[in-house]
Amino acid sequence: MKKSGVRYIDARIILLQVVCLIVLVVLTYKYLDWVEVTKVEISSPELKSSLTISAEEKVEKIVDGVEKARILPGKKPPGKYVIKLFSRKEIRVFHFGEGNYLYDLQGGRLLGPPPQLKKYLQEIREELRRRSPYGELLDWDEVKYLFPYGVKAKVTDLDTGKSFLAQRLAGYSHADVKSLTPQDKKVIKEIYGGNWSWKRRAVLVHVGGRKVAASLSGMPHGQDGKGGFFDLRFPLQGDKRSGDSLSYRFMYYKAAGKMGELYRKATPGETILLLFTAIDQGDWENMKALLTSSGRVEGKGLNEIIGVTVHKIKEKDELGFELGVTVTFRQGPYNDRRNVLVKLRWNAKAGYYQAEPEFLPGLLGKFEKSF
C-alpha cells in the first residue's frame, strides 16, 4: 500500500519552539528594561544646585541627544556641570561646561551634542543658576543698566537669608540705595545683628530678572542732603578698579560662590588680607580654607573678636610677614594694637597660598589659653 504524502510534525517540537520564543521575548524585554534610562540628574557642585528629570519625554530627549553626539578630538574641558543617566544596568556620567560640550567619563571621549540638546543644556544651566543660593558675578558697567536710577530691587543677605526691598536713587561707581519701608530698614539692621555698621556683607540683588552678586555696607549715610542711604557695590573694571578694595571683592566672590577663584588669583599679601577679612567677618568656613590646619579655629577667643583691621604688612622673609593689626573684642579690650607674624605656604593641590595657624595666639592675646 502506498504511503500518504502528508507529514506530521511532532507537537513537542512546536511546544519547544513556542517556549523558546517566549523566553527570547521575555529576555529581550528584561534587557531593554535593564538598559533603559529612567532618570537623569544634573547638578553643579560650584552653584550648589541640582535637578532631577524623570518625565519620559524629557529623559528621551537627553538620551537621544547623547546617542547622536559626535565624537570630537580634544581633551577633557573644564566641566562645571554633571549629568548622570540612570538605568538598572549602570549610571553613565558626563561633564559639560560653558560651551555645552559633553565629556563621557567612562568612555573618555569629548562629544559634540546636536543643536537641540545644546539648547536644552543651556536651559538647564539657567535653571540651575536660578536654583543656586549664589548670584551672578557681573561688572558694574553691566549692572548699572540693569539697575538704573529709580528702579527697585530685592536684596537678600547670603548668610542669614533675610531679604529687604530697596530703590536706587544715586551713586556713580556703585548704587546708593534706600530701603523702601521702615520694615525693610529694620531687616537691614537685623542682618547686621542689631547695630549699624560699615562692615560689608555678601548679598544677592534680584533685579531685571537676574540674581547678581554684590557687597552691602550697613551704615545709613547722607547723599545730596538726604539720609538713610546704603551702599551696594559690584565689581569694577578698567581704570575704576582702584576703588574696588579686596574686602569688596571678598563679598562679590562669596555671593557668587567663587571664593576658590578669588584665592587662586591672590598674591601672598592679598591672601593675608583675605584671611583677616574672614576673621573680621566671623566667617569660619573661609578662614579654614585659608589655613594649612584648621582643627581648632572656632575656639572661644575667635568668637570673642568683633573686629580686626590690618594696618601694615611687612615681608620679613620668603612668605613670612609681620603685620600691624587692631583687634576689638566683645568684652574688651577695644581697638587694641598688636603685631603678629604670619607664615604662608603654597598649597599645590588647592592652587593658592595658605597661612600656618601659629599666628592665632598672638592675635588673641588674653584668649591664648583657649587654644
Residue 67 or 344, more confident? 344
Q: Does residue 12 lie within any of the structural domains?
A: no
DSSP H helical segments within the chain, as ranges? Answer: 11-35, 56-67, 115-131, 140-146, 182-191, 246-256, 259-265, 268-281, 284-289, 300-304, 360-364
225/269 same-domain check: no
Single-letter amino acid, residue 149: Y
| Judgement on whether residues 57 and 107 belong to the same structural domain of the protein | yes
pLDDT in tens, 223-258: 544 567 899 999 988 545 555 789 999 999 999 999
Answer yes or no: is 107 within a domain.
Answer: yes
Residue 9 resides in a domain = no
- Regarding whether 264 and 249 lie in a shared domain, the answer is no
CATH number of domain containing 249 = 2.30.110
Q: Ramachandran region of residue 71, left (φ > 0), alpha (ψ -120 to 50) or beta?
A: beta
- 339 plus 278 within the same structural domain: yes
For residue 283, pLDDT beyond 80: yes
Picking from 131, 162, 192, the residue at the C-terminal end of a domain is 131
Closest by CA position to 158, among listed 218, 96, 205: 205
Q: What is the structure's pLDDT at 300?
A: 57
Where residue 278 sits, what CATH number does that domain have?
A: 3.10.450
Say which CATH number the domain at 123 has: 3.30.1490.410
Check whether residue 360 and residue 280 sit in a common domain.
yes
Residue 24 pLDDT grade (very low, low, confident, very high; cuts 50, 70, 90): low
Residue 35 has a pLDDT of 54
30 within some domain: no
45 inside domain: yes
Residue ending a domain, choose from 100, 131, 162: 131
Q: What is the pLDDT of residue 221?
A: 84
Residues 246 and 270 in one domain: no
Domain co-membership, 226 together with 302: no
pLDDT for the residue numbered 302: 81
In a domain, residue 23? The reply is: no
121's CB contacts (< 8 A; 6+ apart) are 81, 96, 100, 113
- Which domain, by its residues, includes 185? 140-253
**CA 227 to each of CA 180, 190, 220, 221, 223: distance values in angstroms, whole numbers, following the listed order:** 13, 19, 7, 5, 6
Say yes or no: 310 and 366 in one domain: yes
The reply to whether 170 falls in a domain is yes
Over the stretch 317-350, which tens digit does the pLDDT of each residue have? Answer: 889 999 999 999 888 888 999 999 999 999 998 8
**Mean pLDDT within 17-24:** 64
Residue 17 in domain:
no
**Averaged pLDDT, 41-50:** 90
In total, how many domains does the chain have? Answer: 3
Beta pairing partners, 354: 345
Query: What cell was used for 254?
Result: 562669596
- Mean pLDDT over 151-159 rounds to 97
Same domain? 125 vs 112: yes
Residues 127, 144: one domain?
Answer: no
Answer with the one of 86, 110, 131 that is the final residue of a domain.
131
Contact 297, 279 (CB under 8 A): no
